[in-house]
Each structure stands twice: as structure tokens, then as C-alpha cells.
Amino acid sequence: MARKAVSCCGTTSRLTKKNQSEIPQSIREELDRTGGLEALAQGIPAKKDLEAKSRIYHALSDPLRLSILHLLKDQPLCVCVINQFMQIANSKLSYHLTILKESDLITGEYQGNWIIYSLTDQGRSLIS
């Protein structure tokens, strides 16, 4: 008889004796001891939490964006100062700043004609 189990993507799948026998015995025994595939599946965070972490990891995966975070470590800066170090097109810098903002690693605050960027608490904790 087949048993239902929750898969990693939240759908149910059928566990049959055939596909259970494909699992190495030592792994199967450990799974049974710890609550089975159902318990294992419960350890996967909610989709929205995984998406949020994915955005952060994506933002941190680029050396240029990491450099921006380190520039902002000591004080808030305007784009013109950031770009003196990055020396890239304004459109490309804007793209990278947007990724960092969407990941909640930096924030931008208007001061007259300028946007002043600074680290968020989350951004600060990730580069310290």
C-alpha cells in the first residue's frame, strides 16, 4: 500500500515500496527514526522566506555589490562618491543599487537633489 508524503515543493507524492527500497538502508533507518519524509519536508522554510533569502544571496553574489556595501559600512554616501570607487556607467550603478535596495541591504533617502545611501541593519550584519 502506498503512503502519502509531502515533497520539497509542498505537493504530495506517493511513497511506494519500490521507491522506498531505492533509498539506502542507513538513510531509510535514520529517516524513520527522525519522523520520515514528512518531518524532513517540514524543515523546509516557507516559499516566501526562501525567496527573500534568495534575493539576499543574489545581491551578495556580485563583487561590485559587495564593494558598495563595504563603502557604506562607515557612513552614508551619495551616488557620486560611490561611483568614484566603482567607475561604472550611472545606469549600471543604478541597477546594482536597486538590487541592494530590493534585498533590504541598503536604503536611499532623498536630501535635496541627491539620494544618500546607507546600510540597513540587515546589510550591516551581513558584512560585519
Predicted confidence at residue 128, as pLDDT, reads: 81
For 19-61, write each residue's pLDDT tens digit: 666 889 999 999 999 999 899 999 999 999 999 999 999 999 9
**How many Å apart are CA 9 and CA 28, to the nearest integer?**
20
Q: Give residue 5's pLDDT band: very low, low, confident or very high (50, 70, 90).
A: low
Predicted confidence at residue 105, as pLDDT, reads: 97
Q: Give residue 16's pLDDT band: very low, low, confident or very high (50, 70, 90).
A: low
Across 68-80, average pLDDT: 96
Query: pTM of the full predicted structure?
Result: 0.71
Predicted confidence at residue 10, as pLDDT, reads: 47
